Amino acid sequence: MIVLKTAKQLSLIREACAIAAGALEQAGKAVEPGVSTAEIDRIACEYIARHGAQPTFLHYEGFPAGACISVNDEVIHGIPSHKRIIGQGDLVSIDLGATLEGCIGDTAATFAAGDITPEAKRLCDTTRESLFIGIAAAVAGGRIGDISSAIQLYCESRGFSLVREYTGHGVGLKLHEEPSVPNVGKAGMGPRLVPGMTLAIEPMVNAGSSAIKRLSDGWTVKTLDGSLSAHFEHTIAITPDGPAILTAS
């Protein structure tokens, strides 16, 4: 069931989103060669706690950290570790959430550690741009498929592939709510977009094949062919005046 949020709930979700956005910004600033992914997780969690919220991901279905930190060919759900040291030229995807009085903001971005290759930059730029193209399609009266199609057409036109097994989703009162928001699909299909809906839109884009695998840790998802992957995400609200980005920094 799709839950439409009340004005009070939307206000709290907006606050949670602002905290999540601030935590992501601070965590992203820490992405440098020689820094561990555990240190980045610490920075994000401390920011969230200082602002009176809780890291949504911590212990969610057993996840052991407050942020998912995925490097290079890791698509999503990378587990932070003191042993995982970021190297020069790495792509580091940080995905995190903040919970405030039961309301949730969810956001993600991919950051460059130092200088990266032109192809890695084009992957990141395309993924980020596709997120905003998808958001622009999230218009009241439209369909979920409008978002999916916009993202797919843009990324594939630039020679990249989209992960299909994982999707965006409703968010706000739970981390994962209905509806799912795939990154591939047909315009005009799927649930109707209605004011009061809050969605996490999150393209996961691979430089090579769309095929993925999950590692034995039960969490980390990698590209099957070892190609680079990028991930960007915003929580948005559907409003009569167009989509509102709640996790804008």
Give φ, ψ of 222 to 5 degrees.
-120, 160
Which residues of the chain are under the pLDDT cut of 50?
A: none
75, 142, 190 from 91: Cα distances, Å: 10, 34, 33
Alpha helices in the chain (DSSP H): 7-29, 37-50, 118-136, 144-157
Q: Say which amino acid occupies 30.
A: A
Q: Report pLDDT digits (tens) over 25-72.
A: 999 999 999 999 999 999 999 999 999 999 999 999 999 999 999 999
**CATH dotted code for 7-245:** 3.90.230.10
How wide is the angle at C-alpha 28 spanned by C-alphas 198 and 10, nearest 5°? 20
- DSSP class of residue 190 equals S
CA distance 164 to 166: 6
pLDDT at position 131? 98
pLDDT at position 249? 85
Question: Who's near 206: CB < 8 A, 6+ residues apart?
Answer: 75, 160, 161, 162, 163, 212, 223, 227, 228, 229
